[in-house]
Amino acid sequence: MPDTLTVIEPATEAVLEEIPRAGADDVDAAVARAKAAFPAWRALAPSARAEVLHRLASRLEEAHEELSVLEARNAGKPIGDARGEMGMVIATFRYYAAAPERLLGDTIPVAGGQAFTVREPLGVVGLITPWNFPLTIAAWKLGPALAAGNTVVLKPAELTPLTALRFEQLALEAGLAEGVVNVVAGPGSTCGRRLVEHPDVAKIAFTGSTEVGRMIAAGAAQTIKRVTLELGGKSPNVIFADADLEAAAASAPAAVFGNAGQDCCARSRIFVQRPVVDEFMSLLDTAVRSIHVGDPLDEKTEMGPLISANQRETVGSFVNGEAPVAIRGQAPEGPGFWFAPTVLCPVDPGARAAREEIFGPVACVIPFEDEEDAVRLANDTIYGLSGSIWTRDGGRALRVARAIEAGVLSINSNTSVRVSTPFGGFKQSGYGRELGPHALDAYTEVKSIYYAV
């Protein structure tokens, strides 16, 4: 294997940077550094740990534009989106900076003494992250892990390591001690695997494909590691005939073509009640054709390229000769992994495009009859990450929200992710919750102490 990683810019296919490629030995060294740094980091007074995390958020604020441009170029995402994501990274550290002083326990009435619980950090935590939202997804793990007193080894995706490497420097500049945050940029098959097997790693927090998630859960079982998994999705966007169709059609494209569809929350199955399919499709047509696809650094751009040639090939396999292509947007010609936003309609719920996670700008429109049919179709998948319900009937909105088997739902909106609310999947979309107060549970152990009186 070469000893460098060639990082490509997806919009141009040109080399963005060559960086050293980490291997299993580098993971061992990083884990040893994290282990050595753990006692002092966990022993910091809660207010002192909070203070360091606030300093980190401030340092990230100073580097906001630099990180945004780096992420936009490396991941091929529109600069406006990248700025928004870096804003969320900063907000995540601010939110969890409040956590060290709020890691509360319980007092429990028992006979003969006093019982109470405390939350202990786990130790060294391994973070394995994907290429679609590189620093954002890392921050969802870094924030609560560090706030709870753990030290971390972060392995970013090989395709998008640059913001994670810059983050490691910024953390040192903000005053985090050497060894508290360690980044190893190398392949999943060597570095990721070693992190999963390493006896000194207490937990793995993973975001990526369901296939690799399965391997991680199996590998972690050998050392009874704690694992949280945020995996794939095939999320439903359910639009009833009584909905505000204009609003539903205006926001449906961003919900599936945002980040060029490379989003685990992508509402890629659009279920539309049969009487309004034609009206909805005509509104959607206008919205999809007006998506500006192009240079990620152009302020007007709403959708960039796919991450790689491989990804483009996979996505293309869903839009072959027999696919019912109803709407096709535009995309640039020439170098870059471009793919025009595409809507298939009507799609049979059993078709491959309706069942597999495409992870590209391809949406399936599937007609449905009534509420029961909508719920049945929405749940007919191995996944259960997010979803939306559009209707003016409040009772139905709540009934359907309770009936859909997914971790994050929105009503008359397509947004899923907020710093202060829990995020994660049902079924094969994974387990464990990120963000909000719930994420701290995944980075602490509950200890019960009894004091005899």
Q: Which of 91, 103, 215, 351 binds ligand NDP (CB under 6 A)?
A: 215
Nearer to ligand NDP, 190 or 444 (CB): 190
Residue 95: which of 152, 57, 150 has the closest Cα? 57
Site string for ligand NDP, 327-366 (x = CB under 6 A): ------------------------------x-x-------
Q: Which of 68, 74, 132, 414 binds ligand NDP (CB under 6 A)?
A: 132
Q: Which of 57, 90, 157, 377 binds ligand NDP (CB under 6 A)?
A: 157
CA-angle at 135, arms to 129 and 140, nearest 5°: 75
Nearer to ligand NDP, 174 or 216 (CB): 216
Separation CA 104–CA 119 (nearest Å): 7
CA 384 to chain CA mean position, Å? 14
Residue 109 C-beta: closest distance to ligand NDP, Å: 43
Contact 92, 431 (CB under 8 A): no
Q: Which of 11, 154, 165, 196 binds ligand NDP (CB under 6 A)?
A: 196
The full DSSP string for 169-231 is HHHHHTTPPTTSEEE--S-IIIIIHHHHH-TT--EEEEES-HHHHHHHHHHHHTTT-EEEEE-
Interaxial angle between packed helices 79-97 and 46-62, expressed in degrees from 0 to 180 and rounded to the nearest 10: 160
Measured between its terminal Cα atoms, the distance across the chain in Å is: 63
Nearer to ligand NDP, 215 or 411 (CB): 215
The catalytic residues are: 230, 264
Q: Which of 130, 361, 384, 387 binds ligand NDP (CB under 6 A)?
A: 130
Mapped onto helix, strand or coil, the DSSP state of residue 25 is helix
Backbone angles phi, psi at 120, to 5 degrees: -105, 145
The full DSSP string for 63-120 is THHHHHHHHHHHHT--HHHHHHHHHHHHHHHHHHHTSGGG----EEEETTEEEEEEEE
Site string for ligand NDP, 271-310 (x = CB under 6 A): ----------------------------------------
Residue 22: which of 194, 179, 191, 218 has the closest Cα? 191
Residue 289 tokens, joined? 């054709």
Interface region with ligand NDP, contact rule CB under 6 A, candidates 68-76, 115-123, 126-134, 289-297: 126-134
Residue 379 C-beta: closest distance to ligand NDP, Å: 19
Confirm or reject binding of residue 23 to ligand NDP (CB under 6 A): no
Residue 337 C-beta: closest distance to ligand NDP, Å: 13
Residue 257 C-beta: closest distance to ligand NDP, Å: 16
How many residues are there in the chain?
453
- In the 8-state DSSP scheme, what is residue 132? S
Q: Which of 49, 77, 193, 427 binds ligand NDP (CB under 6 A)?
A: 193
- In the 8-state DSSP scheme, what is residue 21? P
Site string for ligand NDP, 220-259 (x = CB under 6 A): ----------xxx---------------------------
CA-angle at 21, arms to 12 and 72, nearest 5°: 30
Contact 418, 437 (CB under 8 A): no
Residue 42 C-beta: closest distance to ligand NDP, Å: 26
Interface region with ligand NDP, contact rule CB under 6 A, candidates 83-91, 203-211, 248-256, 272-280: 203-211
Nearer to ligand NDP, 240 or 359 (CB): 359
Nearer to ligand NDP, 232 or 258 (CB): 232
Confirm or reject binding of residue 216 to ligand NDP (CB under 6 A): yes
Nearer to ligand NDP, 210 or 251 (CB): 210
Confirm or reject binding of residue 425 to ligand NDP (CB under 6 A): no
Going edge to edge, which strands form the sheet with 444-452? 107-110, 113-121, 444-452
Residue 161 C-beta: closest distance to ligand NDP, Å: 8
Separation CA 386–CA 406 (nearest Å): 5
Residue 271 C-beta: closest distance to ligand NDP, Å: 21
Q: Count residues contacting ligand NDP (CB under 6 A)?
A: 26
Nearer to ligand NDP, 129 or 237 (CB): 129
Q: Which of 187, 316, 324, 422 binds ligand NDP (CB under 6 A)?
A: 187
Residue 258: which of 136, 407, 101 has the closest Cα? 136
Of 370-389, binders to ligand NDP (CB under 6 A) are none
Structural element, H or E, at residue 1: none
Q: Which of 41, 131, 390, 431 binds ligand NDP (CB under 6 A)?
A: 131
Separation CA 252–CA 269 (nearest Å): 10
- Residues forming contacts to ligand NDP in the complex (CB under 6 A) are 128-132, 155, 157-158, 187-189, 192-193, 196, 207-209, 212, 215-216, 230-232, 264, 357, 359
